[in-house]
């Protein structure tokens, strides 16, 4: 696994130290051993998609939970299948739990299962109060006139 030095991020990004710590933690976390594999796509300015390869799982065996800034995807294989004798088993059929840390104001907008791929659509909805706004610069004379009228 590659190790990334995030020190330059700490120097140039004020207030993003939490994000850098999360990235370092994610890079060091080998608990899931890459199962199931997934992609994260940027679809637009504020739209994302997580695509997970969940071959062999039915819709009722998958559960997606979003709580706060955490997204949990859980797969549980049902025990109803008859015992099979495999000569070679390359498709994993074990259960899994995969947790994603979501950024501020990112919510799940939908999910669908197609051709063994679970697509989870995410959207970032920044509240109006948090969006950039233009501040007009006034002269000292206008401010003095306003303070005298009060």
CA-angle at 115, arms to 110 and 116, nearest 5° = 80
Q: State residue 35's pLDDT score.
A: 86
Q: State residue 141's pLDDT score.
A: 64
| Cα torsion 58, 62, 64, 65: sign | positive
Whether 64 and 120 have beta carbons less than 8 Å apart is answered as yes
pLDDT per residue as tens, the chain (150 positions):
566 666 665 555 445 555 555 666 565 555 556 789 999 999 988 899 999 999 889 899 999 999 988 999 999 987 766 777 888 888 777 889 999 988 888 999 999 999 999 999 999 888 888 778 888 888 766 555 455 555
| Cα torsion 34, 36, 39, 40: sign | negative
Distance in angstroms (rounded) separating the CA atoms of residues 120 and 110: 6
**CATH 2.60.40.790 residue spans of the chain:** 35-129
CATH architecture of 35-129: Sandwich (2.60)
């Amino acid at each position: 696994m590659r190790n990334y030095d995030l020190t330059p991020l700490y120097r140039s990004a004020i207030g993003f130290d939490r994000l850098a710590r999360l990235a370092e933690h994610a890079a060091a976390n080998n608990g899931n051993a890459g199962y199931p594999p997934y992609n994260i796509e940027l679809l637009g300015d504020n739209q994302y998609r997580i695509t997970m390869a969940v071959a062999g799982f039915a819709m009722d065996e998958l559960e997606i939970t979003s709580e706060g800034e955490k997204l949990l995807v859980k797969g549980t294989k049902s025990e109803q299948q008859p015992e099979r004798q495999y000569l070679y088993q390359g498709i994993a059929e074990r259960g899994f739990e995969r947790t994603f840390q979501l950024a501020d104001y990112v919510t799940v907008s939908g999910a669908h299962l197609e051709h063994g791929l679970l697509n989870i659509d995410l959207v970032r909805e920044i509240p109006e109060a948090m969006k950039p706004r233009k501040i007009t610069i006034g002269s000292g004379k206008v401010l003095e006139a306003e303070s005298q009228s009060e």
